[in-house]
Chains A and B, each alone.
Chain A
Amino acid sequence: MTATHQPPKAGGQPAILAQGLSKRFGAAQALDGVDLELATGKVVALLGPNGAGKTTAVRILATLLAPDAGRARVAGFDVVKEAGAVRRLIGLSGQYAAVDAYLTGRENLRMIGRLYGLARHAARRRAEELLERLDLLGAAGRLVGTYSGGMRRRLDVAASLVAAPPVLFLDEPTTGLDPRGRIALWELLGELTAEGTSLLLTTQYMEEADRLADAIVVIDRGRVVAKGTADQLKARVGGDRLELHTLPGGDPSDLARALAGLGSGPPTVDAAAGRVVLPVDDGPALLAELATRLAAFDLRVADLALRRPTLDDVFLALTDHPGSGTTDYAQRNPSAEDGRRALASGSTP
């Protein structure tokens, strides 16, 4: 590494610019031509099911993995050819809390500070700042092995912030946090981005992407299937959602059958939750017809709601695979298989 004594500057360039990233592991195509852009000071969320390629993308951008094809620049530096410069400008909190269980929280952060190049006293001061900010000061002197999952996760996020990196990668940062910890972390991330930090996060929590991200990139099977703001993505899915819950023990596929042809698309059935979701164009106008059908089929519901589409609906609609025609809960949720089969057999008496 060259001994420049000025840290590389992040200004002027997009925080992340990736084109055509591809990566194959054996037979599995983890990434298949992913483009990604993040403007400085903004937040992009990578959204996708497990195995979609989110972590692979983060690893490539954080210089841990070389892509088979495509190029990526972080803060203007090539992640393969200028990995050293990139590493000085990034913080990474991976999918697992990567902190040493046999060091105290304080020792972990001081170690990371020293490895980033902070002088001893600066590393100490920074560790205290972050311990306080992440609400870990009380446990700072304890071995991390005694921490709860949420505390480890917060320490891991703190470790990624030690060098005040202008570009931050967080791979499912709130996994394992309780609701209070999650909200506290969201607030912290909000502060960081307000101060100019560029953030790429992956998440399975739609609410998180909705709340934090300026742009959302939906990934499925290594490809970008949609990108835009939360509102744009919701608009793409269109209309409202009519959501019905069966009485305990009821079969939601009966409800789905009763609703056939009523909405603007086919209903989705979540047997485990006893729920049917129907996309509709004009919800209020359908309510009378809905009541008639329920009476005709002699069906009763525990709960009925008309709502705007959530990011969950967006996610399910966009990661659906072409040709199958319906948004398919069962594909992602094995416990919904039974409901699907019941629906199939019910429709061919």
Chain B
Amino acid sequence: MSAIATTARPAAPASALVSVATITARNLRRLVRVPTLIAFATVQPVLFVLLFTYVFGGAIQSPGGSRYIDYLLPGLFVLAIGFGASQTGVAIADDLASGMIDRFRSLPMPSAAVLAGRVAADAVRNLFVVALMIAVASAIGFRFHAGPAAALAAVALAVTVGIAFSWLNLLLGLLVRNPESAGLAGLFPVIILVFTSSAMVPVATMPGWLQAFANVNPVTAFVDALRALCLGGPTAAPVLEALAWIGGLLLATVPAAIRRYRHATA
């Protein structure tokens, strides 16, 4: 029998790419195995599409005479992705509490790999979530109006918004450390920002003070850009504004999350 201590000593540390891919694979496995994560990725987005369409659809007059589902779906992308991202904060806080982060940090791999692998898995999930919502919405009448290229751009933008949300929640999870608190810390801003944005209703129908807030709300920027790509109309300005917000969020969260991770211990 081979000596237990002397076989298999690696010649070189894992590359950044292999590390990120390995962590991504781990998180993708969890996505299809952890019941809460399955629900956040399947039941919830479908419920959002059906409930909002049928409950609010009759009462809300969407601007420009488009069908409410056409108007609504870009907003629901952001809602579903934002809710799902809260689980990312829960997961990292969980890894911290369980000692998993201690183990990862004791390994000779780049410290950002654990976080980047998490974000990459989230992006795959969000791609699935967006596709699922489009499929369900299409079954009840949703159509893209600006052609396939714009439709693909909408999906890509939604996933990019998700990347910013994931980093934000990683930072929150590493800051609050407790899994339950991390979930709440991730959900509250999403709830507040989504419902005070253009996601569900036209900003023009809100009281003036709220309009002022809605107009500077990043979720409004995200939804307006997605909506332009789905419904047609000028896209450059809203998409640039959305990308600027995403860039700002990433600048604010990525270095802070990595720094925090480097000093995190159970």
Contacts and interface: CB of A to CB of B under 8 A. Distances in A.
B10 interface: yes
Contact of A129 (B7, B23, B105): B7
A87 B11 CA distance: 13
B18 interface: yes
B98 A96 contact: yes
A133 B103 contact: no
Interface size classification for chain B: 35 or more
A98 B10 CA distance: 22
A197 B5 contact: yes
Nearest to B8: A126
Interface string A1-39: 101111100000000000000000000000000000000
Contacts of A306: none
Given A116-B14, A195-B5, A195-B6, A63 B266 contact: no
A175 interface: no
Interface stretch (A107-115, A254-262, A268-276, A292-300): A107-115
Interface string A210-235: 00000000000000000000000000
B19 interface: yes
Interface in A70-122: 84, 87-88, 90-92, 94-100, 102-103, 107, 111-118, 122
A117 B13 contact: yes
Interface stretch (B106-114, B118-126, B239-247): B106-114
Given A64-B106, A114-B22, A98 B8 contact: no
A115 B14 contact: yes
A65 B105 CA distance: 10
Interface of B: 2-14, 18-19, 22-23, 25-26, 29-30, 33-34, 98-100, 102-110, 265-266
A317 interface: no
Nearest to A2: B13
Contacts of A65: 265
A94 B102 contact: yes
A113 to B, nearest CB: 8
A96 B95 CA distance: 11
Nearest to A114: B22
B173 to A, nearest CB: 16
Nearest to A84: B108
A159 interface: yes
8 contacts: A98-B99, A102-B33, A112-B107, A113-B8, A115-B14, A117-B11, A130-B4, A195-B6
Contact of A163 (B8, B34, B100, B102): B8
A182 interface: no
A118 B10 contact: yes
